[in-house]
A and B are shown apart, each in its own frame.
Chain A
Amino acid sequence: MKTTATIFLFPSVSHVLRAESLLKAKGVRCKLIPVPRSVSSDCGVCLRVARKDAGMAAAALREGGLPVLGIHEI
């Protein structure tokens, strides 16, 4: 199956919300979604961005000093 989106995992929901605000400030579209079961059995949330924006998102998060626990393509 062709992957179309990239998800970013963070240590806590506070980090997810901080990441969302950093990405929005950079004009990167993202959506807060439950962590897919294929990635983790945890019941938390993560950020989904279009695959084409993943590089830009990663750079923005690095610049914001935000720890990313994992990056997965779905």
Chain B
Amino acid sequence: MPSVRMPELIYLDNAATTWPKPRAVTRAMARFMEKVGANPGRSGHRLSVAAARLVYQARQEIAALLGCEDPLRVVFCANGTAALNMALHGLLRPGDHAVCTSMEHNSVMRPLGALQQQGVLVSVVQCSSAGELPVEAVEHSLTPRTRLIVATHGSNVVGTLFPLAELVEVARRHEVLLLVDAAQTAGAILIDLRRTPVDLLAFTGHKALFGPPGTGGLIIGPRVPVQEFPPLFQGGTGSLSESEYQPDFLPDKYESGTPNVVGIAGLAAGVQWVRRRGVEAIRAHEQAVTAHLLSGLKELAGVTVYGPDDPSRRLPVVLFNVDGQDPALGAHLLDKKYGIMCRPGLQCAPVAHKTLGTFPKGGVRFSLSAFTTRRQVERALRAVAVIAGRR
């Protein structure tokens, strides 16, 4: 019987979670499970201290990567969504006004929707049909009751980058807090909190930081009034055990319960890998493969590509549609026939698709990573050409 050759698998769903991960990530996680295993900060024995060191090293790695001067300002959460929820629910009260953009993920829109029902006022700044943010519109939407501006740093749907420095400038000038969703950008784009002091930066560990799923966090800047910012949960922290009240210091105030140390150990290795390789080098590679993908897709008849043309103004996230074809069918064909894995539909961001004019059908999203090769992009382009030809 002739053997059936399976195509080489091409993973283009890195905006959902990056894969593969650097080998060091798996090794660090295995090392923790086999050699450490203990609960950090709950005791003075050697393995507990070793676990606490691993967690602290992860804080240091993240702080160093993102230019945060105090590693204790790095608070770990279950994921980016948990970090965003903590900030939004912790800081906004009925009667407060918050400003967000029309490119946000549901991890921002849904908590804001729930808060709106409790009396928080929300303005959504309209972005362009390419998904770009007019910062002056953010400024115009501020009112005396505005407490918070919340904006993504880079769109998970179409890859558009938002101008961080300008957002920081507006927030500082008007004395409102700025919460940035850096789920797609932390590790992919240079972020230096010394130069762009974002008040609250929510990150996820499992995307461009190359950690495992179940990791993420919030970096809480010095302008945030921690006393007026309650955590979502209270519980054991390993500190002030004699008290029945939650500690009021960072990071313990926001880190109740046993942390995901195995995940955090992997995350530290992922961030270390990113720092060794260098964000600029990763960015240069991702920009080059993205430019190749964009130009190839644009040459294909019957394919519509969304977002800005200039690869320097976007993440390695590309949204397209084959005219007249359901994105889910296209993605299914790409997977089944060509081993190309991507994400069709709305990517958990309906408001972003409304902005781009692709709601409700959405689009096919290819998202690349530091591991994506030019050859894989070429194979993906040939596959799209075929599925576009047979629509």
Shortest distance in angstroms between B255's beta carbon and chain A's nearest beta carbon? 9
Determine, out of B4-12, B36-44, B274-282, the stretch whose residues face the partner at the interface: B36-44
Q: Is B49 an interface residue (CB 8 A)?
A: yes
Q: Is A13 an interface residue (CB 8 A)?
A: yes
Shortest distance in angstroms between A23's beta carbon and chain B's nearest beta carbon? 14
User: Of A12, A17, A44, which one neighbours B44 at CB under 8 angstroms?
Assistant: A44
Tally chain A residues at the interface, Cβ within 8 Å: 18
Write out the residue numbers on chain A whose beta carbons fall within 8 Å of the beta carbon of B60: 21
In the complex the two chains form, is B41's CB within 8 Å of A13's CB? Answer: yes
For the complex of A and B, 6 pairs with smallest distance between CB atoms: A34-B44, A12-B239, A13-B41, A17-B56, A13-B52, A45-B44
Write out the residue numbers on chain B whose beta carbons fall within 8 Å of the beta carbon of A14: 41, 52, 55-56, 59, 72, 251-252
Q: Is A43 an interface residue (CB 8 A)?
A: yes
Q: List 16 A-B contacts (CB under 8 A).
A: A11-B249, A12-B41, A12-B237, A12-B247, A12-B249, A13-B49, A13-B56, A13-B238, A14-B55, A14-B252, A15-B72, A17-B52, A17-B56, A21-B60, A44-B43, A44-B44
Q: Is B71 an interface residue (CB 8 A)?
A: yes
Looking at chain A's contact residues, is the secondary structure mostly helix, strand, loop, or mixed?
mixed
In the complex the two chains form, is B71's CB within 8 Å of A18's CB? Answer: yes
Shortest distance in angstroms between A69's beta carbon and chain B's nearest beta carbon? 10
User: Of B40, B41, B249, which one neighbours A67 at CB under 8 angstroms?
Assistant: B249
- B-side residues, CB < 8 A to A, are 40-41, 43-45, 49, 52-53, 55-56, 59-60, 70-72, 237-242, 247, 249, 251-252
Write out the residue numbers on chain A whose beta carbons fall within 8 Å of the beta carbon of B72: 14-15, 18
Q: Which of A14, A18, A21 has the most CB of B within 10 A?
A: A14
Taking A14-B41, A35-B44 as contacts, is the C-beta distance between A44 and B238 under 8 angstroms?
yes
How distant is the Cα of A65 from the Cα of B40 in the complex, in angstroms? 23
In the complex the two chains form, is A13's CB within 8 Å of B249's CB? Answer: no
Give chain A interface residues in 24-66, CB to chain B under 8 Å. Answer: 32-35, 42-45, 65
Q: Which of B44, B45, B52, B238 has the most CB of A within 10 A?
A: B44
Shortest distance in angstroms between A5's beta carbon and chain B's nearest beta carbon? 16
In the complex the two chains form, is A17's CB within 8 Å of B252's CB? Answer: no
Write out the residue numbers on chain B whose beta carbons fall within 8 Å of the beta carbon of A11: 239-240, 247, 249, 252
Write out the residue numbers on chain B whose beta carbons fall within 8 Å of the beta carbon of A34: 44-45
Shortest distance in angstroms between B83's beta carbon and chain A's nearest beta carbon? 17
Taking A14-B72, A15-B72, A21-B60 as contacts, is the C-beta distance between A42 and B241 under 8 angstroms?
yes
Shortest distance in angstroms between B114's beta carbon and chain A's nearest beta carbon? 31
How distant is the Cα of A15 from the Cα of B59 in the complex, in angstroms? 12
How distant is the Cα of A44 from the Cα of B59 in the complex, in angstroms? 20
How distant is the Cα of A21 from the Cα of B70 in the complex, in angstroms? 11
How distant is the Cα of A35 from the Cα of B59 in the complex, in angstroms? 24
Shortest distance in angstroms between A29's beta carbon and chain B's nearest beta carbon? 18
How distant is the Cα of A4 from the Cα of B315 in the complex, in angstroms? 57
Q: Which of A17, A43, A65 has the most CB of B within 10 A?
A: A17
